[in-house]
Copies of this chain bind each other. A is one copy, B any other.
């Protein structure tokens, strides 16, 4: 099963991602030429295109890793949320936002978001949409959990509220990465303020 070819393939994948990650951060997405990524990864240009359909898909692979980490970190909050609705939401959203710039710069996020709307049917476009859906689901799961505990009224349409909260947060995050001078604390405060009416409405 694990022949030479398999190992070489995995190794080349890793080398390409490592090279691309470094160059994206050093030179920006546009500044990271395919040729430079190829030579740093010690493969040819053609090989890169054998592994990834286009430049965007390389970035896509990096984004997926980041978002999956975020989803993992969020699971803890859903499992045992803070004891009031506002804090619970703020904690989960806080995890998303605070983790978001670990591996990706704002510029990388901008490019990733742009590509995902530009080419929604590319591998990356589909993967990105799927990740968004999972984040939405996780927020809805938190609300369901809060309903179980009795902190949220049982007659509330949890999935709809989850979508509303995610969509608002996501849009705010998009505006956040579009402005280099924007700061995380202000972003979180703005989202808290927007959620306040909703929190009051769904709380038991």
**Chain A contacts to B: CB under 8 angstroms:** 110-111, 113-115, 117-118, 120, 125, 129, 156-157, 160-161, 163-164, 167-168, 170-172, 174-175, 177-179, 193-198, 200-202
Contacts and interface: CB of A to CB of B under 8 A. Distances in A.
Contacts of A193: 157, 160
Interface SS of chain A:
helix
Given A167-B168, A171-B170, A178-B129, A161 B197 contact: yes
A115 B170 CA distance: 17
B111 A194 contact: no
27 contacts: A113-B114, A113-B117, A114-B114, A117-B117, A117-B174, A117-B178, A120-B179, A129-B175, A156-B197, A157-B193, A160-B193, A160-B194, A160-B197, A161-B197, A164-B168, A164-B194, A164-B195, A164-B197, A167-B170, A167-B194, A168-B168, A168-B171, A170-B171, A197-B198, A197-B202, A198-B201, A200-B201
